[in-house]
Structure 1
Amino acid sequence: MSIKKEIPNILTLGNLLAGCLGLYFVMQSKLEYAAYMIFISLVCDFLDGFLARLLHAYSDIGKELDSLADVVSFGILPSFILLNLVEQSCGNQCTIGLFGFYKPFLVFSLALMSAYRLAKFNVDTRQTDQFIGVPTPANGLLVASLPLILHFQPEYASYILNFKGILIYSVLMSYLLVSELPLMAFKFKTWDWKSNQIKFIFLFYCIAALVMLKFVAFPIIVISYILLSGIIFILNPSKK
C-alpha cells in the first residue's frame, strides 16, 4: 500500500472525525464548537480533493469514503445543529401536538437529501465541471455560521432563533440539494483572468463580505452563490 495514495484518505477520515466530534458537541449543547468542527471538515474536504489531484491518488475507496464523511459532516451534523436551534427558539411549543412530532422529520430531511445528493454525485457524469444541485458543503457552511453568529454577533439572534425560518430552510435546502439546478464549481483548470473572471470576482466579493460582516457573511455568500449560479445558467443555457 502506497503511503502517498493514502494521504487524501487520511484527510477524509479527518473530515469524518470532525463530524463525529461535532455531534458530540451538539449533545453537550456546545453549538459553537460543533460549528468549528464543520469548518475543520470543510478544510479537510477541500484538501483531500486537492491532494488527490496533486498526487494522482484517485481511488474508488477514496470516492466512497469522501461521500460517507460528507454525509456526517455536512448532512447529519447540520441537521442536529438546526434541531437544537429550533428547540431553543420555540421552547415548550416544540414538544406538544403535531408540531412536536413532525419537527424532527422536517429538519432531518436535510440529512436524508444530503445522502441522496452525494450518492447521485458519485454516479452523475455531468458533475465534472459544475454541480447539479447545491453541494452539501454549502449547506454545512451556512448552518455552521448560525451558532457563531449567535455567539459573536448576538444582535442578529432574532433572525437565527426563528423556528419557522429554520424549518422552511430545512425543506427548501433539502429540495435544492437534489434539484437539477446547475451551479458553479470552483475548480480552476487555469489561473488566467479571462476564463475565470466570474469566479475571481465572486471570491473578491466573499472576502469583502467577510471583512465587513464577519460570520453574518456566510449565509449571504451561500445564498449569493446559488442566485449567481442560477443567473449564469439562465443567461447561458448552453452551459447546462
Structure 2
Amino acid sequence: MKNQIPNAITLLNLFSGCAAIINILDGQFIAAFWFLFAAGLFDFADGLVARLLNVSSEHGKELDSLADMVSFGAVPAMIYYTLLSIGYAGGATSVLAENLAPATTPAIVWSWAAAPALLVAMFSCLRLAKFNLDTRQTENFVGVATPTSALFATGLMLIYALNPFGWSDAVLSPWVLYPSILAFSYLLISEHPMFSFKIKGAKWAGNETRIIFAVLAVLLLIFLQTAAFPFIVGVYLIINLVSPPQTSAP
C-alpha cells in the first residue's frame, strides 16, 4: 500500500493542473494560480515521500513526468494562448481593476494568432522525454526545468489579473508574449546547465549561487510583490547563462 502513496500525490499534481487549465480558460486567473501552487507542492512532495518511504520506482518517475506535462507543460501554453487571445480581442478589465469589478474575459476560441503558444507544450513534452533518459541531470539541470517555465507564465498571468503598477496591458502585448514563448521553447531543450535548488548542507561553500539567488528573489518579492515572478525567473536565467553550474557527462 505504501508504494502507492507517492503515486497518489503525483495524481493530485495532475488533478491540480487540469483544474488550473479549466480556470484559465474560464478567466478565473487567481483560482488558477492557487491550483498551480498546489501542483507545485504536490510535485515536490511526491519525490520527497517516495524517498522517505524508500519506494522510488521507474513507474513513479514516468507517472511524475506525465503529470508534469499537464501542470507545467500544458498549463503555461494555455496561459500564453489565453493572454494572446485577450490581447487580440482588444484587452479586458483585469480581475482587480480600480473598481474591483470581475474581469470581462472574451470567450477563448481557436486562433492561429494565439496558436504559437502551444509550442511551449510541445517543447515541454520534448524536455520531459529527454529528462527521463538524461543521466546528467541528477544534481543540476540541463536546460530550463518545466516548473521554471510555468512559473514565468504564471507570473505574467498574475500581472494581467492583478494589474500591479499598471502593467496589465503590457503582458497582453505580442511583443512580450511571442518572444517569451520562443525563448522558453528553446531553453526547455537547450544544453545550457542550470542550477537546481538542492542545498548542499548548511554552509556557504557549494551553495553560493543558490544563496545569492534566494536573496535576490526575496528582494524582488518585497519590492515588486505580485509582479515579481517573471523577474525572479529572469534573474535565475541570467545567473545561469553568465555563470553556469558544472554538470557531469552522461
Q: Same fold (TM over 0.5)?
A: yes
Partner AA of 1:108 in structure 2: L
| Residue of structure 1 in register with 2:66 after alignment | 68
Out of 207-216 and 144-153, give the one that drifted further: 144-153
Out of 187-196 and 80-89, give the one that drifted further: 187-196
Partner AA of 2:128 in structure 1: L
| Residue of structure 2 in register with 1:96 after alignment | none
Structure with more helix by fraction? 1
Structure 2 counterparts to residues 68-87 of structure 1, below 5 A: 68-87=66-85
Shift of 1:34: 1.7
| Selected match of 2:148 from 138, 146, 154 | 138
| Residue of structure 2 in register with 1:97 after alignment | none
Shift of 1:27: 2.8
Structure 2 counterparts to residues 28-39 of structure 1, below 5 A: 28-39=26-37
| Residue of structure 2 in register with 1:25 after alignment | 23
Matched, 1:176 2:187: yes
Out of 201-210 and 74-83, give the one that drifted further: 201-210
Shift of 1:58: 0.8
| Residue of structure 2 in register with 1:186 after alignment | 197
Shift of 1:138: 0.4
Out of 209-218 and 119-128, give the one that drifted further: 209-218
Shift of 1:238: 7.6
Q: Contact conserved, 2:20 with 2:36, CA < 8 A, in 1?
A: yes
- Uncovered stretches (5+) of structure 1, i.e. residues with no partner: 93-99
Q: Distance in 1 between matches of 2:64 and 2:180?
A: 25
Aligned residues: 229
Q: Distance in 1 between matches of 2:123 and 2:43?
A: 19
| Residue of structure 2 in register with 1:53 after alignment | 51
CA deviations on 1:122-181 (whole Å, 9 max, x unpaired) are 000011111011000001111112222223234111221112321221112101100111
Q: Distance in 2 between matches of 1:194 and 1:41?
A: 32
Q: Distance in 1 between matches of 2:178 and 2:67?
A: 24
Aligned Cα RMSD in Å? 2.0
| Residue of structure 1 in register with 2:177 after alignment | 166
- Uncovered stretches (5+) of structure 2, i.e. residues with no partner: 91-110
Structure 2 counterparts to residues 214-229 of structure 1, below 5 A: 214-229=225-240
Q: Contact conserved, 2:136 with 2:248, CA < 8 A, in 1?
A: no
Shift of 1:53: 2.5
CA deviations on 1:92-133 (whole Å, 9 max, x unpaired) are 7xxxxxxx53531x1101001001100100000011111011
Matched, 1:114 2:124: yes
Out of 46-55 and 130-139, give the one that drifted further: 46-55
Change (3 A) 1:151 1:26: closer
Shift of 1:9: 1.6
| Selected match of 1:156 from 146, 167, 183 | 167
| Residue of structure 2 in register with 1:95 after alignment | none
Out of 198-207 and 113-122, give the one that drifted further: 198-207
Shift of 1:55: 2.7
Partner AA of 1:118 in structure 2: L
Q: Contact conserved, 2:160 with 2:169, CA < 8 A, in 1?
A: no
| Residue of structure 2 in register with 1:195 after alignment | 206
Partner AA of 2:46 in structure 1: D
